Chains A and B, each alone.
Chain A
């Protein structure tokens, strides 16, 4: 089974609208972390936001927020007031466990977001 599932291969959104990128995950660990990264066409991976499994509040970072629904195992990224510069691939990733050595990230297949002027 896929550990990280991103069901939207591509999305087109009008500039200034809000957009939600879906991510569901599968783990049996109680302790885990969820990360979102942005990859513009230039190729660099840019960290956006982090949510820990024990965090009670949804994470927020500027225009980015994470809609964390633990029981549904979903961690959707919400971008408010989208801008042209938000056009990129977006990856959801998970780190499982909290023991020493459990630091690898497992990535989803990504969503390509295109912002339309």
Chain B
């Protein structure tokens, strides 16, 4: 499709396991963003990529969280040693970059930590 694609759509895992979430941005979009949405914290910014570099990682909540982007396209968000507070919907967005460009979101990955 033409939109931002995220996989898996749902992920249930046990506390302490590592998880990988994938985002495939809209073709031609150079900027890619990760956010998470939870009942307690609302929508929070995690990290932003321009091309393959990450000018802003300020939202990553701990060193258990990391992300990479390869080939200026697909991005993977990795959470190591998951905790129950990591349960949330992880949203990926992409844009052409620049001050007025809207970010277009995928449907998210709902992550549940047991």
Contact = CB atoms under 8 A, between A and B. Distances in A.
Q: Do A and B actually bind?
A: yes
Interface of A: 31, 33, 35, 37, 42-47, 50, 52, 91, 93, 95, 98, 100-110
A50 B58 CA distance: 24
A2 to B, nearest CB: 10
A91 B55 contact: no
A45 B91 contact: yes
Contacts of A44: 105-108
Q: Which of B59, B93, B99, B103 has the most CB of A within 10 A?
A: B99
Label chain B's interface by main secondary structure: strand
Interface residues of B, number: 26
A33 B100 CA distance: 7
A39 B106 CA distance: 12
B112 to A, nearest CB: 15
Given A103-B56, A109-B42, A110-B42, A43 B108 contact: yes
A104 B45 contact: yes
Contact of B45 (A45, A50, A105, A108): A105
A50 B105 contact: no
Contacts of B48: 101, 103-104
Interface of B: 31, 33, 35, 42-43, 45, 48, 50, 55-56, 58-59, 89, 91, 93, 95, 97, 99-100, 102-108
12 contacts: A35-B103, A45-B91, A50-B100, A95-B99, A98-B99, A100-B50, A100-B55, A103-B48, A104-B58, A105-B103, A106-B45, A107-B42
Nearest to B46: A104
A35 B102 contact: yes
Contacts of A100: 50, 55
A33 B105 contact: no
Contacts of A46: 105
B102 A43 contact: no
